[in-house]
Structure 1
Amino acid sequence: MAARTIKPSLYISVDIEADGPIPGPYSMLSLGAAVAGRQGAGGFTATDPRRRTFYRELRPISAEFVPEALAVSGLDRERLAAEGADPGAVLRQFASWVREVCGDAQPVMCGYPASYDWTFLYWYLIRFTGASPFGHSGCLDMKTLYATKAGVPLRAVSKRAMPRHLLPRSPHTHHALDDAIEQAELLANLMAWDGTTTE
């Protein structure tokens, strides 16, 4: 039997800012992404996450919002209602960008944690483009990756509890592109970590 050819993966760090807990009733207001690295037969190779990025601010899709959720990003919802980009156009541009940066690799969305951002991203991709370049499961959660390598329960994971050398240099600002870049740095550190160094 011939050996199965495994395509390399391109890890794309994604962060979204939204005005509520779930897509549909609430809106994704900004989308940031940065290429974090590539993994093939030779292992993981990190890339400079500032080199290939994507950022857009979107028009809300409903009148509903949760003030506390909106306050996290500091985005002006009224401005976005008037000036934000059309969600369909943004998601088509994003899908094209993903295909362009991936080349022969398969895209993997990654986040910290991935669950919230993936929920909005996947819903928006299906709703506005009919397909996802990540498929239905091309998603990596960095909290799970850390918990597995560190041998700790998932719910015990926090950045405060991580060894200092794993933490990104870039700040967490709640600006979607800044946070995508920060997460890409964290992924590179986690992928290089053997799980034993604790300082």
Structure 2
Amino acid sequence: MAVRRTRPSLCISVDIEADGPIPGPYSMLSLGAAVAGTQDADGFTAADPTRHTFYRELRPISTEFVPEALAVSGLDRERLGREGAEPAAALTEFTDWVREVSAGAQPVMCGYPAAFDWMFLYWYLIRFTGTSPFGHSGCLDMKTLYAVKAGLPLRAVAKGTMPRGLLSRRRHTHHALDDAVEQAELFANLMAWPGPGPAPDAG
């Protein structure tokens, strides 16, 4: 019987900045992405996360926003209302970029944590382009990946609980592209990490 070959996964670190907790009533204001590497039957091969990147700032889609959420990114909604890309154009450009960099592979969105960024990204993709280059479930949560490898409950995990050697040396700036690159390095380190060593035998 012929063995079915599975296409490799092209892992893309994605970070978004938003002005509220959910898409629709609130807006995705910026989108950053960086290719983290490729996973195939032989394992994971890290990429230079600064080589293939994408960044757009978007026009808000509503007048509602949460001041505390907006303050995190420091983005100016009034400026984005004038200068931000139309969501349909930005998400179409993003889809084209994903398909270009993932030629011959299946793209997988990677986030830390993925739930928030994926929620906005997928909603925007479907709302403004009608489709997603990642399908409906092509996302991987770095927080879960660490919890499983470390043998920890998910809710016990934070970057501050991770071994320092796993973390990127880049600062987390809340600029979507900076953070996508930083988290691509974290993802590559997590993929290479075998997990904590076995506990020593009791004397």
Give the TM-score normalised by the residue count of structure 1: 0.98
CA–CA distance in structure 2, aligned partners of residues 197 and 52 of structure 1 = 34
Q: Which amino acid aligns with 2:127?
A: R
Partner of 2:117: 117
- How far apart, CA to CA, are the structure 2 residues paired with 1:96 and 1:173? 27
In structure 2, C-alpha distance between the alignment counterparts of 1:159 and 1:22, rounded to whole Å: 23
| 1:85 equivalent in structure 2 | 85
Is 1:22 matched up with 2:22? yes
1:94 maps to 94
Aligned 8 A contact 1:36 1:46 in 2? yes
User: For residues 45-64 of structure 1, what are the structure 2 equivalents within 5 Å?
Assistant: 45-64=45-64
2:127 match: 127
Identity within the alignment, %: 78
1:38 aligns with 2:33: no
SS at match of 2:29: strand
1:63-116 CA distances to partner (integer Å, 9 max, x unpaired)? 000000000000001000111110000000000000000010000000000000
SS of structure 2 residue aligned to 1:90: helix
Give the conservation status (yes or no) of the 8 Å contact 1:163–1:197: no
Secondary structure class of the residue paired with 1:11? strand
Give the structure 2 partner of residue 158 of structure 1.
Answer: 158
* CA displacement 1:31-55 (0-9 Å, x = unmatched): 0000000011111000000000000
Rounded Cα–Cα distance in structure 1 between residues aligned with 2:30 and 2:87: 10
Aligned with 1:116: secondary structure?
helix
DSSP 3-state at the match of 1:12: strand
Q: Aligned partner of 1:110: which letter?
A: C
Question: Which amino acid in the other structure matches residue 176 of structure 1?
Answer: A
Aligned 8 A contact 1:18 1:26 in 2: yes
Q: For structure 1, list consecutive stretches of 5 or more residues without a partner in the other structure.
A: none
Question: What is the CA–CA distance in structure 2 between the aligned matches of 1:103 and 1:41, rounded to whole Å?
Answer: 17
Q: Which runs of 4+ in 1 moved over 2 A?
A: none
Q: Structure 2: how far apart are the matches of 1:35 and 1:168?
A: 15
How far the C-alpha of 1:4 sits from its partner, in A, is: 1.7
Whichever of the two has the greater Rg, that structure is: 2
> What root-mean-square deviation, in Å, do the aligned CA atoms of Structure 1 and Structure 2 show?
0.9
Which whole-Å CA distance do the structure 2 matches of 1:80 and 1:15 have between them? 18
Q: TM-score scaled to structure 2, two decimals?
A: 0.96
Supply the distance in 1 between the matched residues of 2:188 and 2:67 (Cα, whole angstroms): 34
Partner residue in 2 for 1:13: 13
In 2: Cα distance, 1:140 partner to 1:88 partner: 25
